[in-house]
């Protein structure tokens, strides 16, 4: 991801095959913090568990499948202390823990049927049969709430996905 004033965030995952069917993961999380270095560093370090969990979900459920990736940022109004809580409440999954089955009908997005695969105070992961939805409570680190969609259905459309989720997020933070 790139941002203003030279800010960027980059993840690199390299799996190196080893004998006996094992593999070694080389993981590098790098970037440039333009402002609020301590707060951004704290946020980046807290993302690592979620990023590695997402990699595990990919390898377990979607290994080798092509993906359509979409990054969506919530409006500036999401950068409040309760921003992430508001999103979970609007989705009807506040307090949901990993392993919780979900059946959601989200205005403008449609039906999501799957499982919460990750949940803590700043991050939420939902996995459906063909998609990983990742929600980032970056409001805790001075930024807006964000999300990514990793669509493995074979028919993903990043522009339509961004429009649908952008509309939903716009209503949550109106």
Residue 62's pLDDT is what?
96
**Angle at the Cα of 65 from the Cα atoms of 59 and 69, rounded to 5 degrees:** 90
Q: Are 124 and 25 in contact (CB under 8 A)?
A: no
Residue 51's pLDDT is what?
83
């979409």: which residue's tokens? 70
Average confidence (pLDDT) per 10 residues, the chain, 174 residues: 67 79 74 60 69 89 94 96 97 94 96 96 96 94 92 96 98 97
Residues 6+ apart with CB under 8 A from 133: 112, 125, 126, 127, 147, 148, 149, 150
Residue 23's pLDDT is what?
77
Q: How many CB atoms lie within 10 A of CB 130?
A: 16
Residue 168's alpha-carbon distances to 21, 54, 74, 91, 165, in angstroms, are: 43, 23, 9, 10, 5
* CA 134/CA 98 separation, integer angstroms: 13
Q: Are 40 and 141 in contact (CB under 8 A)?
A: yes
Q: How many CB atoms lie within 10 A of CB 115?
A: 14
Hey, where are the domains in the chain? Answer: 4-172
Residue 80's pLDDT is what?
97
Q: Are 87 and 134 in contact (CB under 8 A)?
A: no
Residue 27's alpha-carbon distances to 37, 49, 80, in angstroms, are: 22, 12, 31
For 2-121, where are the E strands, in sequence order?
8-17, 23-32, 68-73, 101-106, 110-119
């Amino acid at each position: 991801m790139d941002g203003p004033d030279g800010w960027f965030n980059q993840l690199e995952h390299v799996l190196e095959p080893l004998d006996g069917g094992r593999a070694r993961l080389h993981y590098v999380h790098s970037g440039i913090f333009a402002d609020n270095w301590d707060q951004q560093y704290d946020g980046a370090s807290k993302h690592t568990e979620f990023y590695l969990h997402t990699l595990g979900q990919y390898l377990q459920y979607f290994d080798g499948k092509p993906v359509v990736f979409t990054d969506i940022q919530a409006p500036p109004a999401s950068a409040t202390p309760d921003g992430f809580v508001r999103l979970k409440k609007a989705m009807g999954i506040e307090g949901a823990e990993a392993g919780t089955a979900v059946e959601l009908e989200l205005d403008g997005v449609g039906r999501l049927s799957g499982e919460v695969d990750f949940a803590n105070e700043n991050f939420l992961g939902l996995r459906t049969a063909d998609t990983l939805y990742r929600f980032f409570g970056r409001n805790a680190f001075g930024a807006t709430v964000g999300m990514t969609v990793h669509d493995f259905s074979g028919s993903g459309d990043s522009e339509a996905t961004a429009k649908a989720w952008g509309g939903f997020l716009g209503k949550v933070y109106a």
